[in-house]
């Protein structure tokens, strides 16, 4: 990868809005999809105005519920797999979700990200036809995973390219969605500059449901501290700040340049 021409990979996990269920809230699938769909509509409109390419890691379930939004996203963004469902996973979902998303988007669908950034055997991902995975957050997240021993920069394993979520050199300050919305923006910007300088690539992600009003959703403050219009404004300002610091690309565009 060229440090002289750094690349910025922005992505979204497009999914059922089931975060409240994990916190004791009862929601039907229709309710989850209504909220998720509103978030995706808002996100796509925002991205249309910003004119930046992104990669949309989408559950096949979401694509089936919202075929129009999937088609709209595919016109300007890369479609990748976020598994069949967000709440459950089996290895068979790798091939099933890819086939469904390929048919719905008319794209090749070469990328995978497991819900909640859980581990999946790289060989199984490759066998299902994927070229890359972006499910590794190389930090210690209490109660979820301990990945500090894993590489911080992209690496090849089991026939695929693993593209970890960005963390800073040294201390591995996280930059995934929760860190991005809870850390002061000067710290976030400094961390991004450090990643671009050291690695030549910056890999960040969010969820479309973050861009709608989350009051009353039953989520803890750290998940909804920045939401709705405030989230849209913060994201737009951040993207404008990034423009002079690298080139925006989808994952497959970046891989095609020879990293």
pTM for this prediction: 0.96
How many separate helices (H) and strands (E) can be counted in the chain?
10, 11
Summarize pLDDT for 90-142 with one digit per residue, the tens: 999 999 999 999 999 999 999 999 999 999 999 999 999 999 999 999 999 88
What is the residue extent of each domain of the chain?
Answer: 7-256
According to DSSP, the β-strands at 132-133 and 160-162 are parallel
Summarize pLDDT for 192-225 with one digit per residue, the tens: 999 999 999 999 999 999 999 999 999 999 999 9
Instruction: Give the CA-trace dihedral at 24, 29, 32, 36, to 10 degrees.
Output: 150
| CATH 3.20.20.370 corresponds to the domain 7-256 | yes
In the three-class reduction of DSSP (H, G, I as helix; E, B as strand; rest coil), residue 11 is classed as: strand
Cβ-based burial of 221 (10 A; exposed 0-12, middle 13-18, buried ≥19)? exposed
pLDDT score, position 1: 46
């Amino acid at each position: 990868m060229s440090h002289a021409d750094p690349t910025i990979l922005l992505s979204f996990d497009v999914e059922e809005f089931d975060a409240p269920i994990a916190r004791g809230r009862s929601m039907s699938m229709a309710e989850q999809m209504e909220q998720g769909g509103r978030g995706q509509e808002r996100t796509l409109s925002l991205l249309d105005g910003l004119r930046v390419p992104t990669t949309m890691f989408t559950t096949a379930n979401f694509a089936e519920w919202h075929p129009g939004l999937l088609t709209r996203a595919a016109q300007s963004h890369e479609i990748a797999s976020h598994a069949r469902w967000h709440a459950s996973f089996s290895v068979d979902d790798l091939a099933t979700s890819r086939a469904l998303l390929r048919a719905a988007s008319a794209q090749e669908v070469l990328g995978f990200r497991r819900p909640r950034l859980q581990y999946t055997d790289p060989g199984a991902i490759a066998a299902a036809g994927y070229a890359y995975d972006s499910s590794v957050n190389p930090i210690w997240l209490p109660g979820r995973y301990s990945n500090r021993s894993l590489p911080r920069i992209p690496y090849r394993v089991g026939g695929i390219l693993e593209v970890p979520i960005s963390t800073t050199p040294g201390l591995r300050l996280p930059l995934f969605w929760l860190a991005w919305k809870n850390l002061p923006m000067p710290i976030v910007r400094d961390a991004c500059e450090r990643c671009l300088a050291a690695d030549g690539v910056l890999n960040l992600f969010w969820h479309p449901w973050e861009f709608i009003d989350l009051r009353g959703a039953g989520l803890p403050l750290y998940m909804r501290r920045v939401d709705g219009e405030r989230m849209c404004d913060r994201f737009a300002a951040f993207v404008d700040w990034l423009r002079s610091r690298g080139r925006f690309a989808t994952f497959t565009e970046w891989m095609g340049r020879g990293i």
